[in-house]
A and B are shown apart, each in its own frame.
Chain A
Amino acid sequence: MATELLIVGLNHHTAPVEVREKAALANGRLDSVLPRLLGLPGIHEAVALSTCNRVELVACCEPGEESAVALRTGLFDSTELTADLCGKHLFELHGREAVRHVFRVASSLDSMVVGEPQILGQLKEQFALSADADAAGPILHRVFHKSFAVAKRVRTETDIASRSVSVASVAVDLAQRIFETLEGASVMIVGAGEIAEAAAQHLVSAGVARVMVANRTYENAVELARGFNGTPVPFERMHSYLPLADLVVGSSGGGEILSADAVDALMKERRNKPVFFIDLAVPRNFDPAINSIDNAYLYDVDDLSTVVQDNVGERKREAVSGEAIVEEEVDRFWQWLEQLEVVPTIVALRDHAETVRAEELTKTLARMPDLPDKDRERIDQMTRAIVNKLLHEPTRSLKQDRPEKEGLALISSVRELFGLGKKS
């Protein structure tokens, strides 16, 4: 069974979201696509991956264009898309490239946000679906389980996932470097718009216990506060509530709301308990001089974005180490796969030769009934010697370590040349 690993699909590198969402394999469609694929003669094993960033079919199949066509058809079966329309968004990966791709996806090196941690869980889930449907066989089991191990290695041996890469998570990181934990902390949110709501959401999920909302239009403050079980504060009374806040988020229009002098007085009232000011407003709500006051820390949108960019850069640097690990693991996996093919090929080649030899020998000897046993023995030995000498070099060559695709290419050439194909 000469087989090939093949991936056909589209992902965030190749297709816009409008196409990806139409191609997504919702659970129902997954149930029908896999059995249909496996019903086709050339496809031995298949796994379907479908996340918001990718729809990909991974298959173990007969080499050749028919398999790729089958996968393409499977991908767009019962969607509004046609293979034709989407041809330009599709990619196709073979053999070693396909293994590398699965490893990179699992390790979050292929993600839109490199290093994001969710992909591994999604991949495990999707693989389990295909495995439960009996679509994944021994080879793909091995490919995917190996990819989970590679992902773990990348995670522990590189620093790829430790940097936050969004403004909100960077702000939470910084707050945790000031306060250790946000559990039980209080936040004053100035403004009641979308940014205010998103900030409140993020801080509450990081553990903030108490939300206060101050807004020029009091009704909006009431509404936002209600969503977080918080306290609405009339705008003109904000200063009397401020000493309660460990974090102050500015997201209000209309420029400066807090001066450095006001914060100076505030710090005295708080007996120097630290305050983290997060200014998300443009123009800024907080006087930049606040940052030079002891125990007051001020970051504006630009400061936070700089940190984000720094972290993105750092993740990219760490991704290079991640790629090296993936490469190493692909090599190792590939050797295993080749071993898997080499031994049966050699056995098949020898079996084939032995069959031919035995048949021809029997035929010839049948025509020479008077030949003494001693001579029969000699002829038998001679044919064996010919077979051994002829096969010596091909066998040695097959067993040799080879880089990249060469190994598998050689195996399929041997199978082709000697017609070892289908039956074994």
Chain B
Amino acid sequence: MELGLLEISSLAYLIASMAFAAHVARPVGRWGAFGAGALGIGFVLHTGGILARLYELGLLPVTTFGEGLSFFSWLIVGIFIGISGRYRLTVLGAVVSALAFGLSLAGVMLYDGGAVVPAALRSPWLPVHVTLAFLGNAVFAVAFAVSVVYLVQENLLKSRRRSWMITRLPSLEQLDRLNYSCLAWGFPLLTLGMLSGGIWAVNAWGRFWSWEPREVLSLLTWSIYGGLLLYRLTSGLRGRRAASLTIIGFSLVVVSYLSVNLLPLAGKHGGTFGS
């Protein structure tokens, strides 16, 4: 990827995060608008970097762990920008930008030139599978950030102290609704991602499902989000418990992503296509 663009965009995310935080701490002046501007500029540069790499590689630049993180942070910022028109969520902007900064910085630091995908694995289903899986996980990352803010706000309201923060954070209702929207988008994406992966696996490896660690962890994640969605719809599960389950679900996403990329558990998944 174009390192210059990526480094600058990462820095822009950091600036955005700090500006949003400043606006939450003392909502006077133009810090909020400044943060939004920095985030927008970062996103445009990031998009440029990813497009440049896409053009160069001829396929989605997610062949290495570093590239994957960078692409993931780009999706998260994109989703946040997409929803921020409908919600007034400065504090979420601070959390999401900080997350994007961490991920994209790691992406820049772990950058090692990108790998070549073995011809055997090339198939039209690969980009479909990878895009859906990344998109689903990015939506869950936003849901995670929303849930963290929910728990903080809930805690503040219950504790009946530190009142000044309460008015700075979004309402519980709004956070809960947003959490549900993320779930309602993320779960179908996750499901489709897993299905398209199976179809690709049939082509590449000869079978739909092979019980490798990544697949098992994904199935577990899928059941948690599925159960959460089901109970939300049928028996009024919401609020603090829904937020906690969303956080647990996303922790599993992170664990399964890291386990195949960083631990020798890799199996056939994992960014490097090494096996």
A and B from one assembly? Answer: yes
Please state if A303 and B27 are interface contacts (CB–CB under 8 Å).
no
Task: Determine whether B173 belongs to the interface, using a CB cutoff of 8 Å to chain A.
Answer: yes
Count A-B pairs with CB separation below 8 Å.
69
CB proximity to B under 8 Å, residues A135-159: 156-159
Given A157-B29, A177-B166, A314-B164, also A272-B157 (CB < 8 A): no
A67 to B201, CA, bound (A): 96
Interface flags, A73-84, vs B, CB<8A=1, else 0: 000000000000
Complex Cα distance, B162 from A303, in Å, reads 11
| B73 CB to nearest A CB, Å | 29
Which B residues are CB-close (under 8 A) to A377?
none
Band of interface residues on B = 20 to 34
Asked if A159 contacts B163 (CB within 8 A), the reply is no
Q: Is B28's CB under 8 angstroms from A177's CB?
A: no
> Complex Cα distance A366/B261, Å?
111
Known A157-B28, A271-B235, A273-B236; 19 more pairs at CB < 8 Å: A156-B29, A157-B29, A162-B167, A173-B167, A174-B166, A177-B171, A178-B171, A179-B173, A272-B236, A272-B238, A274-B239, A291-B158, A295-B240, A297-B157, A303-B160, A306-B163, A307-B160, A307-B163, A311-B164
Q: Which of B28, B29, B163, B174 contacts A180 (CB under 8 A)?
A: B174
Interface string of B226-265 (1 = CB under 8 A from A): 0000000001111111000000000000000000000000
Indicate whether A159 sits within 8 Å of B27 (C-beta atoms), given known contacts A177-B157, A303-B160: yes
Min CB distance A298 to B, Å, is 8
Within the complex, what minimum Cβ distance (angstroms) separates A243 from chain B? 12
B104 at the interface (CB under 8 A from A): no
* B122 CB within 8 Å of chain A: no
What are 24 A-B pairs at a CB distance below 8 A?
A: A156-B28, A157-B29, A163-B167, A173-B167, A177-B153, A177-B157, A177-B169, A178-B171, A178-B172, A179-B171, A180-B171, A180-B173, A180-B174, A271-B235, A272-B236, A294-B239, A295-B240, A297-B158, A306-B163, A307-B160, A307-B163, A310-B164, A311-B164, A314-B164
Q: Given the complex, which residues of B lie within 8 Å of A291, measured CB to CB?
A: 158, 160
Question: Which residue numbers of A lie inside 8 Å of B, CB to CB?
Answer: 156-159, 162-163, 170, 173-174, 176-180, 271-274, 291-292, 294-295, 297, 299, 303, 306-307, 310-311, 314
From A170, A174, A306, A311, contact of B157 by CB (8 A): A174
Bound Cα distance from A407 to B46, whole angstroms: 58
Q: Which of B8-40 contact A (CB under 8 A)?
A: 26-29
Q: Which residues of B contact A (CB under 8 A)?
A: 26-29, 153, 157-158, 160-161, 163-164, 166-167, 169-174, 235-241
Closest 9 CB pairs between A and B? A271-B236, A180-B171, A180-B173, A307-B163, A272-B236, A303-B160, A180-B174, A295-B239, A179-B173
Of B157, B169, B239, most buried by chain A (CB within 10 Å of CB) is B157
A158→B28 contact, CB < 8 A: yes
Q: Which residues of B contact A314 (CB under 8 A)?
A: 164
Q: Which of A162, A173, A178, A299 is in CB contact (< 8 Å) with B27?
A: A162
Best-surrounded residue of A177, A297, A306, A307 (most CB of chain B within 10 A): A177
Partner of B163, one of A156, A179, A274, A310: A310
Residues of A within 8 A of B26 (CB): 159
Chain A residues whose CB sits within 8 angstroms of the CB of B241 once the complex forms: 294
Of A176, A272, A306, most buried by chain B (CB within 10 Å of CB) is: A272
Q: What is the CA–CA distance of A176 and B163 in the complex, to the nearest angstrom? A: 13
Contacts of A177 on B, CB cut-off 8 Å?
153, 157, 166-167, 169, 171-172
Is B171 touching A176 in the complex (CB atoms < 8 A)? yes
Residues of B within 8 A of A306 (CB): 160-161, 163
Min CB distance, A290 to chain B, in Å?
Answer: 11
Assembled-state Cα–Cα distance A306/B239 (Å)? 26
> In the complex the two chains form, is A274's CB within 8 Å of B164's CB?
no
Bound state CA distance, A303 and B236, in angstroms?
Answer: 29
In whole angstroms, what is the CA distance A229 to B14 when docked?
53
Residues of B within 8 A of A178 (CB): 157, 171-173
Among residues of B, the one whose C-beta sits closest to the C-beta of A156 is: B28
Measured between alpha carbons, how far is A257 from B48 in the docked complex, in Å? 63
- Complex-state Cα separation, A292 to B154, whole angstroms: 11
Could you tell me if A274 and B172 are in contact, using CB atoms closer than 8 angstroms? yes
| Cα–Cα distance between A169 and B249 once the two chains are bound (Å) | 38
Closest B residue, CB atoms, query A272: B236
How far, in Å, is B138 (CB) from chain A's closest CB? 25
Q: Which of A174, A292, A299 has the most CB of B within 10 A?
A: A174
CA distance A310 to B158 in the complex (A): 17
